Amino acid sequence: MPEPAAALRRAVRVYLDHLTVERGLSGNTLTSYRRDLDRYLVTLARRGVTDLAAATPAEIAGHVAALRDGDAEHPPLSAASAARATSAVRGLHRFAVREGLAADDASRDVKPPSLPRRLPKALEVDEVLRLLESVGGDGPLELRDRALLEFLYGTGARISEAVGAAVDDLDLESGSATLHGKGGRTRIVPVGGYARAALDAYLVRGRPALAAKAPAVFLNARGGPLSRQSAWAILRKAAAGAGLPVEGARAVSPHTLRHSYATHLLDGGADVRVVQELLGHASVTTTQVYTLVTVERLREVYATAHPRAHS
């Protein structure tokens, strides 16, 4: 395998530093970008390209096509993974132009693979209630599990935001919580009555019994912060207890509660821009996918209820 030129490796290193410091991307995203760009540098090295200014649109387009086709060393990437890798390459070239490493952006007209539009999976309200009610008991872990699920559905928090929340981020008296989201952005969200009651019960009767060793709201049995994997396992167990799917395309996940939160708000008449703020989306375009969910729901109701819906 040819070794990429030092100038290429230096450009990638500076670009990733920029994403870390200026953009505040998560560690997982940076790891994926680094892997994607390392593969791109190998492609350039095989074509004898030693700096970004010499890369051509045809070479970049060929690299993107190879992502979907795979090769002897790499299996074919899914459309989503190939789109992410293409974004990493295009971002690198845009950065190179801004930094004076290249006069033109050779990736400008290279388009990422189109993604199939997938509507978010959302539970019905009665399914959410079954899920929440499947967690019972007054032990510390049972109180924690109920509080976690109520918090996820009651605030629309991402799983990383929930397990990353500290006790000081909660203001149960005023019914609000501060969530620390993607890119270092924070937002304050309301916490509903059911979630407040579950959190209060856990903080008063459950959390002290776990011999807290961390400021996190949600603790594991040893008193340390609950991990994302453990939070996922808690939800999976609750879903199984509620008779909801835990395998396959309809499997309940932490994001399912976030999707349900957004969908139920819009079904109840909330403005899409308010939901955008509550979810912490940087662009309303991301939130608008939920409006498609509610339109699909209306179609389903019409098809089953209207006497002239079917020919």
Query: Quick one: pLDDT at residue 300?
Result: 62
Q: How would DSSP label each residue in 175-210?
A: TEEEEE-GGG-EEEEE--HHHHHHHHHIIIIIGGGG
Q: What is the pLDDT along the chain (311 residues), one digit of tens a residue?
A: 678 889 999 999 999 998 888 777 777 888 989 999 999 999 999 999 998 999 999 999 999 888 888 877 888 888 778 888 999 999 999 999 999 989 999 999 888 777 666 666 789 999 999 999 999 899 999 999 999 999 999 999 999 999 999 999 999 999 999 999 877 789 999 999 999 999 999 999 999 999 777 899 999 999 999 999 999 999 999 999 999 988 876 788 888 898 899 888 888 888 888 888 888 877 777 677 777 666 665 566 556 665 655 54
Query: Quick one: pLDDT at residue 44?
Result: 93
Query: Quick one: pLDDT at residue 115?
Result: 61
DSSP 160: H
List strands edge to edge, sheet with 186-190. Answer: 170-171, 176-180, 186-190
Annotated catalytic sites, by residue? 158, 182, 255, 258, 281, 290
Helix (H) or strand (E) holding 302, with range, is helix 289-305
Q: Write the CA distances from 29 to 67, 81, 267, integer angstroms.
A: 18, 12, 32
Query: Quick one: pLDDT at residue 27?
Result: 79
Give me the CATH topology for the region 6-98. Answer: DNA polymerase; domain 1 (1.10.150)
The answer to whether the beta carbons of residues 13 and 33 sit under 8 Å apart is no
Helix (H) or strand (E) holding 171, with range, is strand 170-171
CATH of segment(s) 125-304: 1.10.443.10
176-180 and 186-190: which strand pairing? antiparallel
Query: Quick one: pLDDT at residue 117?
Result: 60
116 CB burial (10 A radius; 0-12, 13-18, 19+): exposed
Distance between the two ends of the chain, CA-based, in angstroms? 62
What's the whole-model pTM score? 0.61
Between CA 81 and CA 266 the distance in angstroms is 30
Domain residue limits, the chain: 6-98, 125-304
Query: Quick one: pLDDT at residue 1?
Result: 67
